[in-house]
Amino acid sequence: MKMENGVLVDEKGALFYLQNLAKLDHENVLKFKICIDAAESSTSIPNSVLMDQCQESLSNYINDSKRYIQRYFYLSWAYGIAAGTCYLHENNIIHRDLKPDKFVLYVVADPDFQLSLTRLKPNQ
């Protein structure tokens, strides 16, 4: 470990974290895309991580007083959180700061949707 701009930096630990983050692939775990150096740094640690774009945090969604949220969504979110956490545990990862602000909501999209529409025949 070393100091950089008054902050203790653990290069080995950070690189280990990023390597393991890149291996994760689960529908309830935010997908890691790429690491980049967005600013000058004296360490070998990329200082920016690009991940999937999300709409808003679970906390913001729940606390919006103008929204009525059906029970189904709460159950779905609970299942998704449990499934994602279980996946992390299976990969020997413990998230030590689980709270609604840490969970993000995003729109589920099928990237092949347009392609699949063109495969349909008129009588189908």
Instruction: Report pLDDT digits (tens) over 12-52.
Output: 766 777 777 778 888 888 777 666 665 665 555 555 666 66
60 and 15 in a common domain: no
Task: State the pLDDT at residue 9.
Answer: 58
Phi first, then psi: what are they for 64, rounded to 5°? -75, 105
| pTM for the structure as a whole | 0.60
79 and 36 in a common domain: no
97 and 62 in a common domain: yes
Which residue range forms the structural domain that includes residue 82?
A: 53-110
Which residues are CB-neighbours of 37 under 8 A, at least 6 positions away?
A: 46, 47, 48
Residue 11 tokens read as 């290069």
E-strand stretches of the chain: 2-4, 7-9, 32-36, 48-51, 56-57, 104-105
Task: State the pLDDT at residue 59.
Answer: 84
Is the pLDDT higher at 21 or at 116?
21
Task: State the pLDDT at residue 83.
Answer: 92
Residue 96 tokens read as 């030590």
Is the pLDDT higher at 94 or at 121?
94
Task: State the pLDDT at residue 51.
Answer: 63
Show which of 52, 70, 89 is a domain's final residue.
52
97 and 76 in a common domain: yes
Is the pLDDT higher at 48 or at 68?
68
Number of domains in the chain: 2
Q: Is 50 exceeded by the pLDDT of residue 113?
A: no
58 and 103 in a common domain: yes
Task: State the pLDDT at residue 46.
Answer: 56
79 and 106 in a common domain: yes
Helix (H) or strand (E) holding 116: helix 113-119
